[in-house]
Every structure is written in C-alpha cells, then in structure tokens.
Amino acid sequence: MKNAVNLLGAVMIVVSGFLLGLSGVRRLTKRERELLELQKLMQRLKTGIQFSARPLPELILENRDLSVCKNAAQEEGMENDPHGALEKVSASLFPEQKDFQLCRGFLTGLGTSDIEGQIEHITLYSALLEENLREARTEREQKGRLYLALGLFGGITICLILL
C-alpha cells in the first residue's frame, strides 16, 4: 500500500513538472499567435483604408474575429475613442514590452494622416512586426522544447531526491 502511494505521488510530481513546462510553451505560443493576429489586422486595415477609406471604429467592428478588435469593440466609448480602446486592449494582449511598444506606436499613428500616409505607416509597422514575429517563432521553437524538458526532468529529479 505504501509503495502504491509513493508511486502515485511520484507520478503526480513528474506530471506537475511536465505541466509547468507546458505552461511555458503555451505562453510562448500565445505571444506568437497574438503577433500573427496583429499582422492580420495590419493587412486588413491597410486594405480597408486603401480601398474603402472607412473610419477606424467601423474597421474595428468589421474585424471582430481578431482578438484585438473583439476586445476593443467591447470597450466602453470605442466609437468616440478607438485609439484608446485599442491601446487599453493591447496592454493586456502584449505582456512583452517590445511587442506592446510596437503595437502602441502602430496604434498611435492610425488615422493621423491622409490615405497614402496611413498606407506608409502600416507598411512600416508591418516590417517592424516581422522582426518581433521572427523572434517569437524562434523563441517558441527553441525555448519550447527546453521548457518541456526542464519541467519533466525537474519532476523526475524531485522524485529521485524524495525516494
């Protein structure tokens, strides 16, 4: 009976370590996914501004399938201050400081110039976003395996120490 309890405890510790590593992988994957959504938003805004010249609140509501726009559309006063709603939402979606700064810079310049200026602004920030996205992919690929291995081996090490 005592051996079964010890074995169950050991399995729970190993699984806990693995789940801890998996949570690190999930955080890295979430960063990449949010940056990809920002890239989609930039492309859609570029198209929307270039071909229809609609106001920003309308474009946000049209793109509610993206998390940034979905959350911004739910913010109070979005129609009057779309920049404020987008910035408030981006702070929670981009915990990494450089991603947040990039998003904030992009949002600050939206709607401040003519159509050609907007297109140039979006093109510039799309290029800047590529670097962050490339870094997020590399980080997920390299650190993701590391987090899983460290979690699993950490759990095994704890089990060996306790046994």
Q: Quote the pLDDT of residue 79.
A: 77
Q: Which residues of the chain have pLDDT under 50?
A: none
Q: Are 96 and 31 in contact (CB under 8 A)?
A: yes
pLDDT of residue 95: 85
**For the segment 93-138, what is each residue's pLDDT rounded down to a tens digit?**
888 889 888 888 888 877 777 888 888 988 999 999 999 999 999 9
What's the confidence (pLDDT) of residue 5?
77
What is the predicted pLDDT for the residue at 44?
87
